[in-house]
Amino acid sequence: MARHGEGTTVESRSSRRRQREREQRRETILHAAEALFAGGGYHATSIEQIADQAEISVGSVYLYFRSKEDILVHLLEEISLQLRAVVGREFQREQPTLESFARAGRAFLEGFCGQSYPSLVILLRESVGQGPAVEQRRRELFTGLNDDIASALTEVSRSMGLAPRSPRSTELIAFAIIGMFERVAYQYLIWGDRGEELPTVAEELATLVLGGVGGMLRRAEEQRGGEGARQCG
Amino acid sequence: MARHGEGTTVESRSSRRRQREREQRRETILHAAEALFAGGGYHATSIEQIADQAEISVGSVYLYFRSKEDILVHLLEEISLQLRAVVGREFQREQPTLESFARAGRAFLEGFCGQSYPSLVILLRESVGQGPAVEQRRRELFTGLNDDIASALTEVSRSMGLAPRSPRSTELIAFAIIGMFERVAYQYLIWGDRGEELPTVAEELATLVLGGVGGMLRRAEEQRGGEGARQCG
Amino acid sequence: MARHGEGTTVESRSSRRRQREREQRRETILHAAEALFAGGGYHATSIEQIADQAEISVGSVYLYFRSKEDILVHLLEEISLQLRAVVGREFQREQPTLESFARAGRAFLEGFCGQSYPSLVILLRESVGQGPAVEQRRRELFTGLNDDIASALTEVSRSMGLAPRSPRSTELIAFAIIGMFERVAYQYLIWGDRGEELPTVAEELATLVLGGVGGMLRRAEEQRGGEGARQCG
Amino acid sequence: MARHGEGTTVESRSSRRRQREREQRRETILHAAEALFAGGGYHATSIEQIADQAEISVGSVYLYFRSKEDILVHLLEEISLQLRAVVGREFQREQPTLESFARAGRAFLEGFCGQSYPSLVILLRESVGQGPAVEQRRRELFTGLNDDIASALTEVSRSMGLAPRSPRSTELIAFAIIGMFERVAYQYLIWGDRGEELPTVAEELATLVLGGVGGMLRRAEEQRGGEGARQCG
DNA sequence: CATGAATGAGGATTCATTCAT
DNA sequence: TATGAATGAATCCTCATTCAT
């Protein structure tokens, strides 16, 4: 329908603007929901509240999201990206070392939790136990995170001159690392009202994790050696 | 209302019977709810379903529990006891050693998770994000568990000849340990459908934790030494 | 739980009372809905209005009916009984004759339509085009009615000395009879605001139907004869 | 805006084209709606679905029709024309006879129902019980149809040498005829899934109607005679 | 104590209609 | 004219909790 060369431009301009506005609106809803879910809880938050907060109508929410659950799923989507960006960065810069885990831990606590407390609350509290679709997304998130960490672990243990461990060992260590940070974040940030201690805790935990991961890697090594020996015998 | 001297006896007998029956009824409701919450989710379970499963009337549920939320809180209560019994036992027998942590870990995975899967699901999934009262109880549960572990840690590090660490270090290590097992249990048991791997995983994780905790303790020591040195300088 | 002979009586008494009250409540809802559906239309009537009219709460409506649609279906159920009682009576008394159709017609117009105008409106207007479940029930209603009439037709034509006609002919004549009354009732009662003419119309239609049915029966006879002849040729 | 002499021509040309296109668009919407209403039901069909099916935007639907209800009303308008064309044709060709009713009946079943099943569904099912405006249009439709048939009846009875009957008798017979075909069409075509029987049924019903109408006419005559006699006496 | 019918606030979702572009 | 995003009123239904029996 657009005529002449510029027609296209005009059309694509307005269409791009539309697209941008649409994205913005989506984000607005998502952030309104994030704040409300984190503040009052997923179930205690009604669609009407979200609409009010986002300064749109109830019906409009459904132009951007299929259902209330869908909002939560997309929130997890965003959190997943944030999280892997913050944490993954530490492993991607160069050859990861044991120190990378300490840095990644600090990044998680200070870069992620500290920057976006609502995200943390949704990740660790509000998205838990809220139905299968949400659970599925959480699972993917954690699996992805675990893969990142497991890869780094493999690299690190190789660079430490440790023999390659079984895939499950690596997986387990990765989950263990995630779990440590999860619980610490939950205790200190969600339950703790101890935000001011965050830097100290981050520092201390980073140090501890260094020892813990180092110890686990070595232990896995020994165990494997033992197994090997036993098998040889 | 008691008549004659023996009245008291009679009454106390029947009153004791009453008391016992009351307890049984409570348990019945609690276990009905546990199964339903774990199976279909806390929100998807109605009081009517619980009453049906417990073979009593809806009204009777409210003779034993103030509200639906109250059932969940008491379920956490029970789980808390189970958990500390299973895990605590390993630390209480004698002088705890590093090995105790490995044993406690195995006990958690095999004794608790393996024996009562529904309890695990409620502890880690269904009781999360379900309102303040529940959250409060969960917090107490984890704090209690943490205290147990922290005490053991103090003992162990002393018996290992390591200098006493700051209370926070100990607390952090304890939370880290809890977190490791939480996430591993969630991944392998709740999401994993990998129940059959449980013994292997338990064994492997126990070994890893030995290394991890050992490493963390040593690292905490070093850090403290460093700090001390710095302070001295 | 009831003890002694009278216990049973007492229990069954109260249980019978309960049952009776339940039935009454059901009827109350049904009649509230009937009036509102007939007055304002099925879709324009909300569950809240029905509850108000029946002087109960919204939730209680759902103790007696699964859904709004379910109310309509049960309304049709009742109408079906009424209708077959009123119309069927005329055929059941003795050997039906051609006159029976005239009487049944009068009974339909005066006994059914005249007595329960709302029922008529629901049968012919509000239950039409309201979804599959309702349509299914309407279908059964009409099929049942048709069976009644078809049986009578068979009797009558035999008693008139007419040879038995094909099942389809009988079915068709029965539907034709139903259709005549339906449209006449719709025109004169639902659209007509001509309730006062009812007796006259009923009389006139009864007479006409006598001729019509008689004519149809004879015509079916001839046609059959013709077919037979053709087949013989 | 028209320039020069020919301007008018040009304008009227383009205006006629516009007009034609507008009509086409209207028809497109109408037919999209017809198919959807007949298929899924009036209420289950949304304006968006209609717009999609007609390959226009939601807003455009409102350039052609005031409301969703308005679409249904106009659909009835079209159906009314179709119907009277098909049925009326049989009476208009020459002097109508009793046979004309049989032919009109066949035309209704085969020409109308058989050719446009969706129209039938909308006429007999989807337009019923859908609010006052629609009901008003349906009433006009049936009244018009009735007038056509009543005129023909008057002609026929005169040509059969029967004395003129009361207007109401004629009206009643006309409604009776319409009702017969309505119910038969509903049963066999909408409920019946017996489309293949249509020709047979049409034939059989035509024959029966011959007898029925004949009988009704004669009976009306007798009754009138009786009344007259009574009045005379 | 036990029952289970009754309550009614609450919430997610739909959809006909409008209007700025 | 055409569009389709935005609106928000309207509605069905659920379910935790109460209380008369």
Which of D72, D141, D175 is the best substitution to test chain C (most C C-beta atoms within 10 A)?
D175
Extents of the domains making up chain A: 1-65, 69-232
Whole-number Å distance between alpha carbons of C7 and C4: 5
Answer whether C215 sits within 8 Å of D220, measured CB to CB. no
* B-contacting chains (≥3 CB pairs under 8 Å): A
Stretch C95-109: mean pLDDT: 90
| pLDDT bracket for residue B220 (50, 70, 90) | low
Q: What is the CATH number of domain B67-232?
A: 1.10.357.10
A127 touches strand E (CB under 7 A): no
* Residue with the two structure tokens 């009537």: C45
In angstroms, the CA B176 to CA B183 distance is 11
Query: What contacts C95, CB < 8 A, 6 or more positions away?
Result: C155, C159
Q: A42 CA, F11 C1': separation in Å?
A: 24
Architecture of domain A69-232: Orthogonal Bundle (1.10)
Q: Which nucleotide is nearest to B62 (CA to C1')?
A: F17
> At which residue do the structure tokens 């209330």 appear?
A68
Confidence at residue D229, expressed as pLDDT on a 0 to 100 scale:
41
**Average of per-residue pLDDT across A178-197:** 88
What pLDDT is stored for residue D146 in this prediction? 94
Distance from the Cα of C58 to chain D's closest Cα (Å) equals 24
Measure in Å the smallest separation between the Cα of D162 and chain C Cα atoms. Answer: 15
D67-232 has the same fold as D1-65: no
A33-47, B84-98, B171-185, D15-29, range with the lowest pLDDT: B84-98
- The separation, in Å, between residue B63 CA and nucleotide E2 C1' comes to 9
Phi, psi angle pair for D56, to nearest 5°: -135, 180
D208 and C172 within 8 Å at the Cβ level: the answer is: yes
Is the model's pLDDT at C225 over the cut of 80? Answer: no
Q: CB distance B204–A223 less than 8 Å?
A: yes
3-state secondary structure of B140: helix
Q: Reply yes or no on whether the pLDDT at A2 is more than 70.
A: no
Distances (CA, A) of D28 to B143, D31, D34: 70, 5, 10
Topology annotation, domain C68-232: Tetracycline Repressor; domain 2 (1.10.357)
Over 90: is that where the pLDDT of A164 sits? no
Size of interface A-B (CB pairs under 8 A): 159
Mutate to test the interface with B, among A120, A147, A162, A183 (most CBs of B within 10 A): A183
Size of interface C-D (CB pairs under 8 A): 159
What pLDDT does D230 receive? 41
For residue A42, which residues of chain B lie inside 8 Å, CB to CB?
A: 129
Give B36-80 pLDDT, tens digit per residue: 999 999 999 999 999 999 999 999 999 999 999 999 999 999 999
What was the pLDDT predicted at D25?
96
Question: How far lies C167's CA from each of C76, C84, C146, C220, D181, in Å?
Answer: 27, 21, 12, 11, 18
Q: What is the mean pLDDT of residues C65-87?
A: 95
| Residue position matching structure tokens 């409920």 | D191
CB atoms A129 and B131 under 8 Å: no
pLDDT-derived band of residue C162, with 50, 70 and 90 as boundaries? confident
CATH superfamily of D1-65: Homeodomain-like (1.10.10.60)
The chains found to touch C (3+ Cβ pairs under 8 angstroms) are: D
Distance separating alpha carbons of residues D65 and D183, to the nearest angstrom = 31
Q: Which residues have C-beta within 8 Å of that of residue B110, sequence separation ≥ 6?
A: B198, B199, B202
Closest nucleotide over all strands to A64 (CA to C1'):
F5
Query: Do A and B touch, counting CB pairs below 8 Å (3 needed)?
Result: yes
pLDDT of A179 higher than 50: yes
8 A C-beta contact, residue A98 and residue A105: no
Residues on chain C touching D203 (C-beta within 8 angstroms): none
CATH level 3 topology of B6-65 = Arc Repressor Mutant, subunit A (1.10.10)
Write the pLDDT tens digit of every residue in B125-174. Answer: 999 999 899 999 999 999 999 999 999 988 888 888 887 778 888 999 99
Half-sphere exposure of B46 (CA within 13 A, CB side): 6
The single-letter DSSP state of residue B127 is: T
Over residues C169-188, the mean pLDDT reads 94
Residue A27 has pLDDT above 50, yes or no: yes
Collapse the DSSP code of D46 into the 3-class scheme (helix H, G, I; strand E, B; otherwise coil) and give the result: coil
Measured between CA atoms, how close is C160 to chain D, in angstroms?
Answer: 16
Higher pLDDT, B144 or A9: B144
Contact across the interface for C128 and D129, Cβ inside 8 Å: yes
C88-108: b (≥16 Cβ within 10 Å) or e? bebbeeeebebebbbbbbbbb
Q: Which of residues 16-45 of A touch strand E (CB under 7 A)?
A: 44-45
Phi, psi angle pair for D166, to nearest 5°: -65, 150
**Residue A60 confidence class, pLDDT cut points 50, 70, 90:** very high
Residue D63 CB in 7 A reach of strand F: yes
> Position B232: which residue type?
C
List average pLDDT for each run of 10 residues in chain D, which is 233 residues long. 49 79 95 97 97 97 98 97 89 82 92 94 97 95 94 88 82 94 95 80 89 83 54 37
B80: Cβ–Cβ under 8 A, 6 or more apart, which residues? B137, B140, B141, B144, B145
